[in-house]
Structure 1
């Protein structure tokens, strides 16, 4: 089972990545937010892969990076070890009693158990450190 099969709203990801969403290895972590409402955990990640056939708007704008926000709802367990300003990590989302998250990098480890995972935002932008994708 792929991580996308566990997402409550995978349609946008499936459309952008033509049914083949990228693995969550080598993602760049921009933000980790814990909120007592729910309680929830949100991860803001740059995906390591860019779609072969991105939306026309993304092509027109010269975007080269896909950013996703994953919202884990009903968090029942959370562990965070280490922190860094530049986190490139491997993320594993698997089925458990709900969903289980593990984020691992040389400087940081996060694990969580949650009732669900949802894509709360999917967008693209130009990352100046990456090559611009052209037609």
Structure 2
């Protein structure tokens, strides 16, 4: 599963009974940082968690956003066909142990990186849901 090859996935694992695949997710953005050495992927989970923190429930949150940072980028390709970004995100490892990140949908991106970290997991109220 995609989350098992990322660092700092403990909190994410506690939120879900079974962590979903990243199919048809809203992609907030793909950010190139540190002169291309770091790429940040910011996206919503496909559905809300079964085990949210009480604070999130009390605040009426209905969506979860993740920020995942990828470091030591070997390659990056990006193409978009829309001004809104929805797509499927697949994160795997190749034969050399590098992360392969493939985004397909209204935005298409391919990223190859040494490592990936879940930097933040935030609940929020998505008015569109």
State the TM-score, normalized to the length of structure 1.
Answer: 0.88
Alpha-carbon offset, residue 53 of structure 1: 1.9
Q: Deviations over 1:84-129 (max 9, x none)?
A: 3211100000011321000000x32100100011101100100001
CA distance in 2, matches of 1:129, 1:88: 14
More displaced 10-residue stretch of structure 1: 66-75 or 77-86:
77-86
Name the count of aligned residue pairs: 127
Assess if the C-alpha contact under 8 Å between 2:25 and 2:87 holds in 1: yes
Which whole-Å CA distance do the structure 1 matches of 2:8 and 2:51 have between them?
Answer: 20
- Provide the C-alpha distance between the structure 2 equivalents of 1:83 and 1:101, rounded to a whole number of angstroms: 19
Listed as ranges, the gaps of 5+ residues in structure 2 are none
Q: TM-score, normalised by structure 2?
A: 0.92
CA contact (8 A) 1:25 1:89 kept: yes
Distance 2:81 2:2 in 1: 24
Where in structure 1 are there 5+ consecutive unaligned residues? Answer: 131-135
- Which of the two has greater strand per residue? 2
**1:81/1:108 contact within 8 Å kept:** yes
Cα RMSD for the two superposed structures: 1.3
Post-superposition Cα deviations, 1:6-61, rounded to whole Å, max 9, x if no partner, equal 0111111111124x222111110111100135701101101111111211011000
CA distance in 2, matches of 1:21, 1:37: 32
Instruction: Determine which of 42, 45, 53 is the counterpart of 1:44.
Output: 42
Q: Is contact 2:86–2:107 with CA below 8 Å preserved after alignment?
A: no
Structure 2 partner of 1:133? none
Large movers: runs of 4+ above 6 Å: none
